[in-house]
Copies of this chain bind each other. A is one copy, B any other.
């Protein structure tokens, strides 16, 4: 198949991103790391983080090898699987892991340098932390587009000629999304358990019982806590967003290939369009990153302005650029499709603002949670859970409106529900997700720089650099939280849209699997007793053939299981954090009582033991919930067929999305309610109110950093597994 010349902008953008990431990394490395003590602390954290990642990748590699062998068996022996799948799966996992690795390596080098820079001023600290965050953002988008471009080139070489070529290419590429999702889930769950076990353990004994401040060097869990920020919030987030980024592009390309299958020229354009938007997004992200300028002695307000300027300019420009790109490419109904992207972007902003409203202590909901601390920890928890649950309304309604709008814009307001109108509408939903994630290069930078600033604060505290430096790193952290809201809205919103797009891809994979079966002599008979021909059937015909309607008990049971899976998964990860945290608490208590002089600062705590506990707990606890996410869709597919799987995916998506918003917002609100009290409200630090809000914050830790964010991946991983296992599901129809 001929690759059009416009395609080459995609690898170009990817190489630019990786090149600039390298430049930023070198710039950061040239900075001073500070005093000997600072270097020592940073070294501890770096070694702990790398040791963890090594351990993590060992376990995950094993899982990947087993899965790849299963796929190979399915492909080469059973012939129910595309022969490229094992390789695509492996590269997805590999690149996703690489993105996490580079991001974390940068972060662990950057934190001491940020702390050191913060000694001379807020602006210098911001520059180092932000540029280091940008390394992560650029590595994720660079590796993502690189993987996509390479596979597209390779597969275009092998498949050519017929109009089915692009459908086969795009659906095959989708399967590397499963590799990325699997890696991401392990990274999020493992990292999330690690970081929160350490955090909860450090807080409960250090802050509440021993009354020593956060990151105090006397606390044995403090190094583990800082390691955790890197492995959970940096490496975990990197793998997570790599998966979201690729998933949105790949699923949209796959729908494009089917929606425009009757016109070969338009089909190719529709497949490439999301990649081009992403490529242009990289250049706009770079522009945005350069807009984040820091002048010497800048005030907090000026820095905030400059930071939001970067992300906002990139977001506005991508909206405009989309119209230009789609017009220049002469995509069918380019105005409508552009408006679809605009709907997605608008939804992301609204969800981000709603998140901000429900979790920032500048607004009533979080203030009320802080106020509830006057009546003790129980009312803090009740209020926080209530607020989190209520906060699901705006995001769900917004995403619902965005779904309808991006659908209707892309298919010219056609509600006829013909197969063609549905495909085109779904293409609009998918490309809206691509638009939201296209400026990930900069939005991820504002997200990733938070943990770097946090770690810089930890380093400053442990190196006893004085209150002023700590205040500056805290200010940097707070700055990031404010600007990160939009990025979070984009991330969660795009996950929902991508999952919907994947639903369509699932039907497409079932179609391909059935065609394969027909080619091997299998026949399918529909309810009326007629022969069912998958190659001429459209999406609606498949819905009819498999009776994927809401009166089918298999669909209903699937939906039940999907909703339950989200809860079960959260329960397991919450339980894991609880268990690991208890072990940590006991260890810290043991050290406090057994190591003499530790609380007076005369003896050094055994940091290594705590790092080990977190590592071991995370490794042990991450496997079961993650494997569950892979096993459930397979079992449902085998037992309940296509209807059951689609029910499962819809149940998992709707419940999972809502549960994720609830958990993230409750957690965020508790965190900020605590900060509000720490700023002196309701008595301030050390009071009963403060302790009550610490309980809230501690409960919120696994909510917002372990279970909540993992749900986004869970939803998509279940879709990816279903897609990759479509052959098996169809094979079960045979009997």
Contact = CB atoms under 8 A, between A and B. Distances in A.
Interface of A: 200, 204, 208, 372, 374-379, 381-383, 385-393, 396-397, 399-400, 403-404, 407, 416-418, 422, 425-426, 429, 500, 503-504, 507, 527, 539-540, 543-544, 547-557, 559-564, 567-568, 570-575, 577-578, 581-582, 585-586, 646-647, 650-651, 654-655, 657-659, 662, 694-695, 698-699, 702
Contacts of A390: 568, 571-572, 575
Nearest to A583: B375
Given A557-B403, A699-B378, A571 B386 contact: yes
A383 B654 contact: no
Nearest to A646: B550
29 contacts: A372-B582, A374-B582, A378-B694, A378-B695, A381-B381, A381-B699, A382-B577, A382-B699, A382-B702, A385-B699, A386-B573, A389-B571, A389-B574, A390-B568, A392-B564, A392-B568, A396-B560, A396-B563, A397-B564, A403-B557, A543-B551, A544-B544, A544-B549, A550-B650, A556-B650, A559-B559, A563-B655, A563-B657, A567-B658
Given A403-B560, A503-B550, 11 more contacts: A200-B382, A372-B578, A385-B574, A390-B572, A391-B571, A392-B571, A396-B563, A500-B553, A560-B658, A563-B654, A563-B658
Contact of A654 (B376, B507, B577, B651): B651
Contact of A561 (B383, B397, B577): B397
B550 A555 contact: yes
Count of identical protomers in the assembly:
2
A391 B568 CA distance: 8
Count chain B CB atoms within 10 A of each CB in A425, A570, A654, A698 and give the residue with the most: A654
A628 to B, nearest CB: 10
A389 B387 CA distance: 19
The prevalent SS among residues of A at the interface is: helix
A597 to B, nearest CB: 24
**Lowest 6 A-B CB distances belong to which pairs?**
A389-B571, A386-B574, A390-B571, A386-B575, A378-B698, A396-B564
Nearest to A571: B389
Contacts of A200: 378-379, 382
B400 A695 contact: no
A577 B387 CA distance: 12
Contacts of A549: 540, 543-544, 548-550
B651 A575 contact: no
A359 to B, nearest CB: 14
